[in-house]
Structure 1
Amino acid sequence: MSSVDAPTGALTTSSRPADKTVPLIDITIGGLLTQRAAERPDAPALVGTRHGTGERVRLTYAELLDEASRVATAIAASTRPGSFVALWAPNVVEWPIIEYGAALAGVVLVAINPALQRDELDYALTHSRSAVLIHADRAGDRDMAAVVAEVAGAHPDLVTISLSETDRWSAPAADPDVIAAAPTDPTAAAMLQYTSGTTGNPKGVLLSHRSMVNVAKLTMEAVEARPGAGAINPLPMFHTAACVIGTLGPLWLGGTEFLIEKFAPGEVLAVARSADVSILFYVPAILGALLTAQASSDAAAPQFEIVMGGAANVPAAMIEAAESTFGASVINLFGQTELAPVLSATRPGDRREDQLHTVGRPLPQVDCKIVDPFTGEIQPVGVEGEICARGYQQLICYLHDPAATAATVDAEGFVYTGDLGTMDERGYLKVTGRLKEIIIRGGENIAPAAIEETLLGHPAIESVTVVGIPDERLGETVAAVLVLNGPPAADLGAQLTEFARQRMARYKVPARWFITDGMPLTPTGKIRKFQLRDQIAAGRLTELEATA
């Protein structure tokens, strides 16, 4: 029986076939830049800060293509097409320029987190077998050049190039033969992204030109972004949210990317007030900081048409605050690096309940299903299971790891995301947690996300994370870690316990309550729950008395 009821169009199981009515585009990243430069040569394309000088640069599409072509020429002189070229730098304007240049040169760009320590950088270079490393000299107070000098000794064949050595990574002029030989196959690999795993070494996610370009295209179309729009990108460029949605998204629109080198709420708000900007990209930590900064500012709030992002469950109260403060349509995106990175999005015309409490429906051209994590069977509508997706945007493979690839992508081509969620009869998704984060209390499976959403309704709580901690009798028990809006009342633990008991089953109610000044976050804004568990185990968090 089909998963869609023909007369009504309603799903009968949690399996949504791809919407084929919206076309894909078969073009490379370099090809799209070349096309936009031909169409809009004098339009502003990129605004950002030069490495080492702090100079604010504004490039038109013609200038951006020229700079990218000169980068491609220099890269072609250093290595062969198909090689891996690593980029280790913060959000300087050179980052997207090199992204485009690598695409034109036909090499795979290895995006490396500038916060990595020496051994982590060494692992990424060793695992990717990078032929070239282009790096910043500094990121904030960090001497990145010194770290590279230490690591380079273990990689005698690695070509290292500092961004301050401009003539080595950017040729004086573009070589027409190099540009003429730019790749035209959109299925070719374009980028290697490392997952921010919480255990073991990160896996290298290999993504194609086709996946990145079409995710940017379909996401911008889904959220009804207008052509030529300006967009502020404060997200870290080494992650797909920034280098795909935040960079290729404005490229698709023929608009302008305003790249923020180091996130500071006041700077982002000032740029938004002074520039022609209508789109803001966010993760919840960034959006929350902007709302707080604007609330304490005497200046008028900048007005956006679209505020779009995700990376964690976005509280309904934060969505409403962003709408009222910035006058924007707030879009909740969901996905992961392996999906380049967007699977689903809310839409401006969605029902209010969907905008506040779902991650929308899948983008066009992708199949989506919810399966039982243990049996693999498709779940009934509304029943929790693992979210799976199949489509143009999924990873080519985990580099040098066929076993991990086989464990993630099944025989039918579905990517198993590791995220738990539900699908309703219309195909709208709710994310309920991570499969690995499920708390098993006395045999009961508990998803933290639903508890977190409920607890955010208490006026004392600014943010909350729920984790499982060891318990001799039950195996695990539920603990809540809180960031409060102010000093705690003497009986806050008892208040919260009663609040939770009135709203959820007793076995879900946190047995222990802890206070922290701030959640430990990954660079992409996701909460490092394992660090909170470690802090609890080490007695480093203040615990509230849970009974009256």
Structure 2
Amino acid sequence: MTVTLTDLLPTELRRSWVVDGTCPDLDLYSLYRARQIADLHRTAVIDAKGELCYTALDRKVRCLAKGLRGLGIGAGDVVGVQLPNNRNAVIAELALAALGAIALPFPVGRGAAEAESLLRRAEAVAVIAAVEHRGQTHAADLQALAPALPALRHVVGAGRDTPDGTIPLTQLLRTDPTGFVPARPDPDGAARILVSSGSEAEPKMVAYSHNALAGGRGNFLASLMPDDTPPRCLFLVPLASAFGSNGTAVTLARHGGTLVLLDHFTPEAALSAVRDHRPTHILGVPTMIRMMLETLETLETLETLETLESTESTESTESTESTETPDEPLPAPTALVLGGAPLDETTAKAAADAFGCPVVNLYGSADGVNCHTGLQHTVPPTDRSGVVAGRPDPRVAEIRITDPDTHEPLPDGRIGEIVSRGPMTPLCYVGSPELDARYRTPEGWVRTGDLGFLDEDGLLHVAGRLKDVVIRGGANISPAEVERELVSHPQVRDAVCVSVPDPLMGERLAACLVVKGPTPPSLAELGTYLAERGIDRYKHPEHLLVLPELPLTAAGKSDRAALRTRIAEDRTSALAQA
């Protein structure tokens, strides 16, 4: 291994979580093998190709691991993985764990420039990438980058017609696994690098150990499992995202469950997966759920029209045949887990009603923080700032509130910076000592950059971001505060607020909306509504962009950069026509 990954937590603290049973003290592949041996034919993965059981998956994992070992890849090597949500992504992650290598997954859809940055800074020796996915040719793009990446020795292509110079994944999967002996890496050593979609110029990379994933993050999912029944998790987010790290390492290796995967999210495909595969847990971001709710409403409207037409036809022919009944309600999962973006009360209530289960608000990030509202509430509780973050679980991550300048702990009820430390805390940032200095304290606490407070009952409330503000003429505006009120408007399906540069005020606020019905509200109407909701006039949006749907990043979050570009284009066009 050439990249240095230093654990910034005290060693004795890490080991204390093993001693008390909080962390399993086994590497991810050993955990997976134990689950496979315990239930040979349990379904591990359901994807577009069908079902794959634990034993069949394990054989493919061993084939790939031995094939990669034949390429010289071994313990401590970083290997990039850019694959859609399917069995190959799962096979790759487990195979790298079996080698003691370090997986660096990043979602399909991310461009070559960002991929080059990730692979370069992590000193990756190889990358496994899709030959083609939705018009993008990741394997060829990465092969073209290889000369500029001295550490990169191999590009493995997943799919047909692999580009010249790349190694077909199918070839490696045909390797004879006989005699393969898995590595036994240190459970407190690096297993995976999570890529953060934060606000840095380059995406942050965060190194996680086997214990932090299976132990800390595994305890998060365990808290949402009412019994010992293995979970059946539908991942609407990419497995290659930070949220998606709860897939292979947690759902399979820690809990022996089943992954239900979509290689590309659409609300129609997601709803079909819920009906066909009856997941116990659905994991997604609020925007995805709003799109699914809108699709359900459209389907219900069509069913109502068809029923009326059928009734009229029956009455006209005086037929006694019964009309066709509408589709059955969605099968209720154990939990709908929503993270990655703020959740508003309107969406939470609608989702709880449509899915018939508790909606869990998850506050978390790749940097090492996790808190959620749990299963005891069908609709998560709210305060004047919106949906609360929930009660911190020390078996996952302890949370404190500190003064942003002095870093001293603050008493309950005082707003300060949210800091986190616990079994899921990552080792360090990858190749970025400046980020370690900025976001980690000498005691190993992670500075989140979020503002919040703990109330007298121990519930965490998130109040905003230290840096995520729009500064209009010297006055600070929280986009999250305005978004929270806009999505409660009866004509608004979804809303994202972004800043736009302005020569007079410095910045102004723009609202990007997906609306309900044919007529969008005007800026003036939105202003009146926000004033009635107690939002000061200077915080009201001054630009409006109405879209059929919000663009999403490769990680499944609202693409704020794309929205800023679109608004700038619209403003330029409007000025040209004036």
TM-score of the two chains, using structure 1 as the length reference: 0.86
Moved more, 446-455 or 350-359: 350-359
The answer as to 2:181 corresponding to 1:203 is no
Letter in 2 for 1:484: V
Please state how far the C-alpha of 1:433 moved relative to its aligned partner: 2.5
Taking a change above 3 Å as real, the CA distance of residues 311 and 72 of structure 1, as seen in their structure-2 partners, is same
The DSSP-based 3-state class of the residue aligned with 1:338 is coil
Superposed, 1:375-414 pairs within 5 Å as: 375-414=406-445
Q: Please name the residue that 1:77 is paired with.
A: 70
Q: Please name the residue that 1:223 is paired with.
A: 224
In the alignment, is the contact (CA less than 8 A) between 2:477 and 2:539 conserved in 1?
Answer: no
Please state how far the C-alpha of 1:270 moved relative to its aligned partner: 2.0
The answer as to 2:349 corresponding to 1:347 is no
Identify the match of residue 178 of structure 1 among 177, 181, 204.
181
Q: Please name the residue that 1:27 is paired with.
A: 26
The answer as to 2:186 corresponding to 1:159 is no
Q: Please name the residue that 2:84 is paired with.
A: 90
Letter in 2 for 1:30: Y
Please state how far the C-alpha of 1:203 moved relative to its aligned partner: 2.5
In the alignment, is the contact (CA less than 8 A) between 1:520 and 1:531 conserved in 2?
Answer: yes
Identify the match of residue 283 of structure 2 among 273, 281, 285.
281
Identify the match of residue 145 of structure 1 among 139, 145, 161.
139
Q: Please name the residue that 2:387 is paired with.
A: 357
Q: Please name the residue that 1:11 is paired with.
A: none
Taking a change above 3 Å as real, the CA distance of residues 470 and 224 of structure 1, as seen in their structure-2 partners, is same
Superposed, 1:99-110 pairs within 5 Å as: 99-110=93-104
Taking a change above 3 Å as real, the CA distance of residues 292 and 353 of structure 1, as seen in their structure-2 partners, is closer
The DSSP-based 3-state class of the residue aligned with 1:254 is coil
Letter in 2 for 1:249: T
Letter in 1 for 2:218: K
Taking a change above 3 Å as real, the CA distance of residues 468 and 423 of structure 1, as seen in their structure-2 partners, is farther
Letter in 1 for 2:190: A
Letter in 1 for 2:533: R
The answer as to 2:346 corresponding to 1:317 is yes
The DSSP-based 3-state class of the residue aligned with 2:94 is helix
Letter in 1 for 2:347: M
Letter in 2 for 1:343: N
The DSSP-based 3-state class of the residue aligned with 2:64 is helix
Please state how far the C-alpha of 1:310 moved relative to its aligned partner: 0.9
| Long gaps (5+) in structure 1 | 1-17, 50-55, 544-548
Q: Please name the residue that 1:302 is paired with.
A: 330
Taking a change above 3 Å as real, the CA distance of residues 86 and 225 of structure 1, as seen in their structure-2 partners, is farther
Please state how far the C-alpha of 1:214 moved relative to its aligned partner: 1.8
The answer as to 2:294 corresponding to 1:292 is yes
In the alignment, is the contact (CA less than 8 A) between 1:198 and 1:528 conserved in 2?
Answer: no
Moved more, 130-139 or 457-466: 457-466
Please state how far the C-alpha of 1:229 moved relative to its aligned partner: 2.9
Moved more, 372-381 or 273-282: 372-381
The DSSP-based 3-state class of the residue aligned with 1:178 is coil
Taking a change above 3 Å as real, the CA distance of residues 331 and 350 of structure 1, as seen in their structure-2 partners, is same
| Long gaps (5+) in structure 2 | 1-16, 160-167, 304-326
Please state how far the C-alpha of 1:39 moved relative to its aligned partner: 1.3
1:171-227 CA-partner distances (Å, limit 9, x unpaired)? 533254522x332x2111011233224452222211111111123421222223542
Letter in 2 for 1:32: L
CA distance, structure 1, for counterparts of residue 249 and residue 187 of structure 2: 18
Please state how far the C-alpha of 1:323 moved relative to its aligned partner: 1.4
TM-score of the two chains, using structure 2 as the length reference: 0.81
Moved more, 275-284 or 474-483: 474-483
CA distance, structure 2, for counterparts of residue 351 and residue 171 of structure 1: 48
> Runs ≥4 in structure 1, deviation > 6 angstroms?
none
Pairs aligned (count): 514
CA distance, structure 1, for counterparts of residue 108 and residue 58 of structure 2: 26
Letter in 1 for 2:101: V
Superposed, 1:237-276 pairs within 5 Å as: 237-245=239-247, 248-276=250-278
In the alignment, is the contact (CA less than 8 A) between 1:193 and 1:204 conserved in 2?
Answer: yes
The answer as to 2:131 corresponding to 1:130 is no
Identify the match of residue 512 of structure 1 among 542, 566, 577.
542
1:474-512 CA-partner distances (Å, limit 9, x unpaired)? 55444433332234467x333322222233253553151
In the alignment, is the contact (CA less than 8 A) between 2:218 and 2:246 conserved in 1?
Answer: no
The DSSP-based 3-state class of the residue aligned with 1:296 is helix
Taking a change above 3 Å as real, the CA distance of residues 411 and 308 of structure 1, as seen in their structure-2 partners, is same
Taking a change above 3 Å as real, the CA distance of residues 539 and 469 of structure 1, as seen in their structure-2 partners, is same
The DSSP-based 3-state class of the residue aligned with 1:362 is coil
Taking a change above 3 Å as real, the CA distance of residues 189 and 497 of structure 1, as seen in their structure-2 partners, is same
- Name the Cα RMSD after superposition: 2.8
